[in-house]
Amino acid sequence: MVLFLGQIFRLSHGQDPPSSESNMSKVVRIIDATLREGNQCHGASFNEKNSPEIASAIAALGIDMLEIGHPVCSAQEIRRIKSIVELDLGCPILAHSRAHAKDVRAVAETGAQWIGIFVGINEISQKVRISNRQTNQIIKMIKDSVSLAKELGLKVRYTVEDASRTPDDILLQAYSEAINSGADRICYSDTLGILEPNEVCEKISLLKKHFPEIDIEVHFHDDRGLAMANALAAVDAGANWISTSINGIGERSGITDTCAFIANLTYRKKRKFLHLDQLKKVSRLVAAHSRSFVDPRRPLVGKNAFHHKARLHAKAIEKDESSYNWIAPGIFGLTSTTHLPELPRELDKLINIPKVIPASELKYHTDGPGLRYVMVDERFVPDSRQYCIVRKIGLVKGVIAPHVDAHRHDCDSLFMFIGAHENLTGLAVEVQLGDEIFPIKSPSSVFIPAGIEHSYRVIAGEGIYVNHVLSGCYNDSLLEGKLTS
Ligand code: HCA
Ligand code: CU
């Protein structure tokens, strides 16, 4: 059936497309799996506290569906997913499930509208992922789990895990079973990131030939650096849902990057996203909470993505931005840069005399007790990528007012307390970390992971306080918005 353009564009973000949407005119949709696949990235700990903020920020980009977590894992995981469902972001929520009844029931308990059931069916899956099951038994698991999910009122996405290493006949059999049992969408997963774009094209064309009506999602891992190329090849071959994550985080080398994929769709004039100027902000937020920091070369959101160093390039960019940018950075609220400060080559310029500067130069701070010596930041050493201050605290008598409000950085930082007495004793402080307050005596250090709210105040004694932040500019490293008040 032919759809008129107007009909396509009336499908607003978050709504399920009508099932009659014809294949040729299907809009490319994004399911962002940061809070599921991304949670499997080393360093990530998306929890009940930070997940709602992250989910809201991602949904606000105009994403079509959010994949949140794996509820059967724990009661805590169920609560985390529920807390996002309850936000009612206007964007359907999908939760992950093996093809087991208890997993399916756990998803139903979260209130998520969609379930993503996955099961591998190839030889290696039978050997190590779901041991001691034959192909026909796995086919039955697909039928039973999809049917149960439908009975529980869920919309179902069914994924063949490791689809790219599964023989075509078995692959088609698995998807047929899922569709006949009521699956609303199928997902092709290149779990190991082994496919190349021409193979993706073949596989998706095969699925389209056999299942012309059903929505097809693809999930590409980036182990060979091909996740983006494969996603675009899949779109060209007719896949209409792409699974992505912010900064591409996930198992190992991760998956297709949400922001870069949105930029690619924009470049191709495939779809209009309304809040492109928020991409970098969301990238920073997720980088902080996953402690998976963005490489300067990452497309779109990396520090160097629109930086031009060679003199010829810089000159050309100053005349016309399109000379060396693939897309106009302004669309994303970004600007081209040409002359970023560089680390000095002369070694003596790396030695600094500290300057006394009151802390009110920082957001969330007033001057506070004693003198604050700035030891290093990018004003002292261009491109230092570090900030360090020392505060000399004279003997505290009586109660002193706090001078730092709770705040968070997009990078890790450190507090050190060094008392003026023997063995570095002699200073008592109180440190807020997340929701908790800790009374602390010197000598001590407090490691502050990126994204964690923190502050401190001096209680008694005398000594030195050191703050070290892994950013050359304190104020630029702050994440706006606070989790608690
Ligand atoms: C996993 C595997 C998975 C599943 C994808 C999906 C993969 O981490 O459980 O359910 O669509 O890459 O195959 O991420
Ligand atoms: Cu995956």
The whole-number pLDDT of residue 231 equals 98
Question: Would the pLDDT of 9 be above 70?
Answer: no
Which segments of 111-246 does DSSP mark as H helices, in order? Answer: 123-124, 135-151, 168-180, 197-210, 227-237
Three-class SS of residue 345? Answer: coil
Ligand 1 within 6 A of CB of 103: no
The whole-number pLDDT of residue 25 equals 66
Q: Whose CA is nearest to atom 11 of ligand 1?
A: 159
Q: Tell me the C-alpha distance between 60 and 115, whole Å.
A: 22
Q: List the shell of residues around ion ligand 2, using CB closer than 5 Å.
A: 37
Kind of pairing between the strands at 114-120 and 93-98: parallel
The whole-number pLDDT of residue 22 equals 53
Percent of the chain with pLDDT over 90: 88
Helix (H) or strand (E) holding 79: helix 75-85
The pLDDT tens digits for 150-204 are 999 999 999 999 999 999 999 999 999 999 999 999 999 999 999 999 999 999 9
Decide if 184 contacts 156 (C-beta within 8 A). yes
313 counts as catalytic: yes
Maximum pairwise Cα distance, the chain = 83
Mind listing the domains of the chain with CATH numbers?
Answer: 2-290 (3.20.20.70), 347-477 (2.60.120.10)
Decide if 261 contacts 236 (C-beta within 8 A). no
Residue from 219, 242, 244, 249 whose mutation best tests the ligand 1 pocket (most atoms within 8 A of CB):
219
The pLDDT tens digits for 256-315 are 999 999 999 999 998 999 899 999 999 999 999 999 999 999 999 999 999 999 999 999
DSSP 25-79: TPPPEEEE-TTTGGGGSTT----TTTHHHHHHHHHTTT-SEEE---GGG-HHHHH
Q: How many CA atoms lie within 13 A of 1 on its CB side?
A: 10
Ligand 1 centroid to 37 CA: how many Å? 7
Q: Considering the chain, what is the average pLDDT of its residues? A: 93
Q: Amino acid letter at 205?
A: S
The whole-number pLDDT of residue 485 equals 32
> Taking CA 297 as the corner, what is the angle to CA 296 and CA 300, rounded to the nearest 5 degrees?
95
Catalytic residue among 96, 100, 313, 409: 313
Taking residues 82-90, report their average pLDDT: 97
Ligand 1 within 6 A of CB of 161: yes
Query: pTM to 2 decimals?
Result: 0.93
Question: Would the pLDDT of 36 be above 60?
Answer: yes
Q: Tell me the C-alpha distance between 442 and 444, whole Å.
A: 5
Ligand 2 centroid to 222 CA: how many Å? 10
Question: Would the pLDDT of 8 be above 50?
Answer: no
Contacts of 156 (CB under 8 A, 6+ apart): 114, 115, 117, 146, 149, 150, 178, 182, 183, 184, 185
Q: Whose CA is nearest to atom 12 of ligand 1?
A: 191
Decide if 126 contacts 160 (C-beta within 8 A). no
Q: Which tops the pLDDT comparison, 23 or 319?
A: 319
The pLDDT tens digits for 103-113 are 999 999 999 99
The whole-number pLDDT of residue 397 equals 85
Residue from 189, 243, 256 whose mutation best tests the ligand 1 pocket (most atoms within 8 A of CB):
189
Which segments of 357-396 does DSSP mark as H helices, in order? Answer: none
The whole-number pLDDT of residue 21 equals 54
Candidates 252, 300, 306; CA nearest to 276 is: 300
Helix (H) or strand (E) holding 220: strand 215-220
Q: Tell me the C-alpha distance between 127 and 80, whole Å.
A: 33
The whole-number pLDDT of residue 400 equals 86
Closest-lying ligand to the alpha carbon of 186? 1
Taking residues 439-460, report their average pLDDT: 97
The pLDDT tens digits for 120-152 are 998 888 888 887 788 999 999 999 999 999 999
Six-digit token string for 21: 């949407």
Taking residues 44-65, report their average pLDDT: 96
The whole-number pLDDT of residue 132 equals 77
